[in-house]
Amino acid sequence: GDSVTQMEGPVTLSEEAFLTINCTYTATGYPSLFWYVQYPGEGLQLLLKATKADDKGSNKGFEATYRKETTSFHLEKGSVQVSDSAVYFCALMPGNTPLVFGKGTRLSVIA
Amino acid sequence: EAQVTQNPRYLITVTGKKLTVTCSQNMNHEYMSWYRQDPGLGLRQIYYSMNVEVTDKGDVPEGYKVSRKEKRNFPLILESPSPNQTSLYFCASTHYGGTGSRYGYTFGSGTRLTVV
């Protein structure tokens, strides 16, 4: 079945460090891919998305590129801030079926 | 403002006392879903609905009920709550069909339920 695997956390970085959170997927067909962010005490918010191969999603300095050849959608940010501390979820939507989530990666950024 | 509204945000209840968590969306979305979030287990789908009067089980439906009598509302019902249902619950919605895969889900703010 369809699945998402993302790197386990927690990830702890110093402010201004480079961030990569790996995400790979298994799916039939051509799923849409998403990154969601959950700040402490809040619900999930859509961070960025990509709907076809080679698309790059970007928002708030975060980027991810839909790589069909490696079935990956890694999240990157060049310089993290304390305010980026959150849990990040990679997810895929294989057509019209329910969203499939990874287990989440907790990021802590220290000043 | 387009949103998914869940109530209550926090709830403490006793084992066996029936409760309902409400979910309402104002975006005319066809698809609605309930998830629970537990440490180390990520988000697991409880039930979903593809339109009015159409509901189906997700990955962890035991102990829960849902109904979809109106398009905007999708309440989650725990007929006889137990401590293993202590969790953080999220409602989500999206357009069903091609547009859903482009926009993803909109999530509510969550309901933290404690069953003692």
A65-87 per-position pLDDT tens digit: 999 999 999 999 999 999 999 99
Determine whether the interchain pair A103/B100 forms a contact, defined as Cβ–Cβ distance below 8 Å: no
pLDDT digits (tens, 9 = 90+) for B32-61: 999 999 988 889 999 999 899 999 999 999
Average pLDDT, chain A: 93
Contact A23, A6 (CB under 8 A): yes
CA distance B18 to chain A (A): 25
Determine whether the interchain pair B92/A99 forms a contact, defined as Cβ–Cβ distance below 8 Å: yes
The single residue listed with the structure tokens 């959608």 is A73
Per-residue pLDDT at A102 exceeds 70: yes
For B4, nearest residue in chain A (alpha carbons)? A43
Determine whether the interchain pair A98/B33 forms a contact, defined as Cβ–Cβ distance below 8 Å: yes
Q: CA–CA separation, B79 vs B67, rounded Å?
A: 13
pLDDT tens by residue, chain B, 116 residues: 889 999 999 999 999 999 999 999 999 999 999 999 998 888 999 999 989 999 999 999 999 999 999 999 999 999 999 999 999 999 999 887 665 566 778 999 999 999 99
Q: CA–CA separation, B25 vs B74, rounded Å?
A: 9
Contact B89, B113 (CB under 8 A): yes
Of the residues B45, B101, B107, the best mutation for testing chain A's interface (the one with the most A CB atoms within 10 Å of its CB) is: B101
CA distance A37 to chain B (A): 11
Task: Characterize B53-70 residue by residue with b for buried, 16 or more Cβ atoms within 10 angstroms of its Cβ, and e for exposed.
Answer: eebeebebbeebebebee
Q: Is A88 on the interface with B (CB under 8 A)?
A: no
Of the residues A99, A100, A106, the best mutation for testing chain B's interface (the one with the most B CB atoms within 10 Å of its CB) is: A99
